């Protein structure tokens, strides 16, 4: 697994104009193993909102690739990645945050997209329009949405 250098200090995040406590995608503080210890927002995640994000196509759409037995009402769950049941038994909060922000730091070359990542990409687009991305390409999920998803994942114990 590739090691990445921690990029910028939290002070710079403030200067960059993000919401007071919010960590911008390029300023995330990674640990060697692909985990992120610190909350991206300082505001506790809401698991109910996390569940919604994970099952909404236009948001996380995690169920496109993962089965979640705890969500029996969600139709057509994909099977590209491992089932997420018991994820909180296998991973710590910091590891789960890292997996959702950019799983490629944990699993090199994985198929799973980085949900809080703004580059570098090859020919990034403007969402699903097929057009070129704007200069200020937004991550797929916001910092608080990431925290909400992590909060939901932490409920997945067997």
Pick the closer one to another protein by CB: 17 or 57: 57
User: Cβ distance 33 to 106 under 8 Å?
Assistant: yes
* Residue 87 interacts with, from another protein, ligand HEC, none (CB under 5-8 Å by kind): ligand HEC
Binding of residue 105 to another protein (CB under 8 A) = no
User: Cβ distance 66 to 77 under 8 Å?
Assistant: yes
Binding of residue 151 to ligand HEC (CB under 6 A) = no
State the number of binding residues for another protein (CB under 8 A): 40
Which helix or strand (DSSP H or E) is residue 40 part of? none
Position among 59, 63, 143, 154 found at the interface with another protein (CB under 8 A): 63
Inter-CA distances, 112 with 63, 95, 125, Å: 12, 15, 17
d(Cα 86, Cα 88) in Å, to the nearest integer? Answer: 5
* Residue 75 interacts with, from ligand HEC, another protein, none (CB under 5-8 Å by kind): another protein
User: Cβ distance 55 to 115 under 8 Å?
Assistant: no
d(Cα 148, Cα 44) in Å, to the nearest integer? Answer: 8
Footprint of ligand HEC (CB under 6 A):
54, 60-62, 64-66, 80-82, 84, 87, 90, 96, 99-100, 103, 107, 110-113, 115, 149, 153
Footprint of another protein (CB under 8 A):
57, 61, 63-65, 67, 69, 75-80, 82-83, 85, 104, 107-111, 113-114, 117, 121-133, 137, 140
């Amino acid at each position: 697994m590739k090691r990445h250098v921690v990029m910028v200090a939290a002070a710079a995040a403030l200067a960059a104009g993000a919401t007071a406590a919010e960590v911008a995608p390029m300023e995330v503080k990674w640990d060697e193993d692909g985990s992120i210890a610190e909350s991206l927002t300082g505001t506790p995640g809401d698991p109910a909102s996390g569940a919604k994000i994970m099952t909404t196509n236009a948001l996380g759409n995690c169920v496109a690739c993962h089965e979640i037995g705890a969500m029996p009402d969600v139709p057509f769950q994909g099977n590209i990645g491992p089932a997420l049941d018991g994820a909180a038994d296998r991973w710590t909060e910091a590891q789960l945050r890292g997996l959702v922000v950019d799983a490629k730091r944990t699993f090199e070359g994985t198929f799973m997209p980085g949900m809080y990542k703004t580059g570098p990409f090859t020919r990034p687009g403007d969402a699903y329009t097929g057009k070129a991305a704007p200069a200020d390409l937004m991550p797929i999920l916001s910092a608080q949405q990431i925290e909400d998803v992590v909060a939901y994942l932490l409920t997945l114990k067997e």
